[in-house]
Amino acid sequence: MYRVEKVLNHNSVIGIHDENHGEYLIMGKGIGFGKKINERIEARDTDTVYSLQETGERGDSRTLAKTISPICLEIADEVLQKAEETFGDVDRNMLFPMADHIEYAIKRIQNHETVRNPLTNDIRVLFHVEYKTAMCIQDILRERLGIDMNEDEVGYIALHIHSAIEDEKVSQAMQMAQAVRKCVALVEEQIGKPIDVLSLSYNRLMNHIRYMVVRALKGEELKVSMNDYMELKFPQSFSMAKIVCDQVSHDLRCQLNETEIGYLAMHIERVTSAELGEE
């Protein structure tokens, strides 16, 4: 049972648990309708309960729950429910930073401010399922508020979903996308032309760089080296890979293991060969 501390709207209340005395956000259809302060309620099977004990990148959940618009909390809850249907378990604590972002995004849209996300295409490839799931917010916003959210904003929601299903902060997911974009830009600069983002070799390169960045951040190493073979067989691709790895080490402020160079060179060779019409 919970004691109602604050009614946010008809569908959400903040309550104090009778046993552990912790604060919780309880969301569900009609849960707050007609409720009064100190009234006792019980969470139903159809309700969602969020702990307000957590502190995240944007502040503590308790403060966010009381300052973010209830409608934005409900929209974020719907998005997380959709993510749960797709991925299974998700970190429900992502509700508050996601709702916070949605609130600012809505204000930008209503003020006709256009936000450009240079990483949208990279996010769409790197976090394909997350992005596809995040697109549900476009229908939710049209139905609830009559506004349209562009694909750049959807990209940011996809990062929040990714953070909810992985042990990774939104800022880390953004850092990864930025690192991948810079790596691809370096490869494009070296071969003198843009890479076809729809090609299989591009997709493989993107995903390889993604996991290379993850290994760098976690301090993991590849066990088998391909450096000698790749440097001898494909010296130009190996040289490009070394430049990219040095740049990643600099940007992430960590040292990539040298074995990463050979594997990255292999993917660069595939991409460059495809772009030059050799495949």
User: Looking at residue 266, what is its pLDDT?
Assistant: 92
User: Looking at residue 56, what is its pLDDT?
Assistant: 59
Confidence band, pLDDT 50/70/90 cuts, at residue 58 = low
User: Looking at residue 251, what is its pLDDT?
Assistant: 78
Taking only the tens place, the pLDDT of each residue in 198-234 is 778 778 888 888 888 888 878 888 889 999 999 999 9
The total of other beta-carbon atoms located within 10 Å of residue 175's CB is 16
User: Looking at residue 279, what is its pLDDT?
Assistant: 43
Which domains can be identified in the chain, with CATH numbers?
A: 1-53 (2.30.24.10), 59-167 (1.10.1790.10), 175-275 (1.10.1790.10)
Highest mean pLDDT among 35-49, 171-185, 201-215, 250-264: 35-49
Taking only the tens place, the pLDDT of each residue in 77-113 is 999 999 999 999 898 888 999 999 999 999 999 998 8
Residue 167 structure tokens: 């042990």
Taking only the tens place, the pLDDT of each residue in 7-51 is 999 999 999 998 888 888 999 999 999 899 999 998 988 888 988
Residue 205 structure tokens: 């390169």
CA within 13 Å, CB half, 129? 11
Mean pLDDT, residues 110-127 taken together: 86
Q: Is 215 exposed, middle or buried (0-12, 13-18, 19+ CB in 10 A)?
A: middle
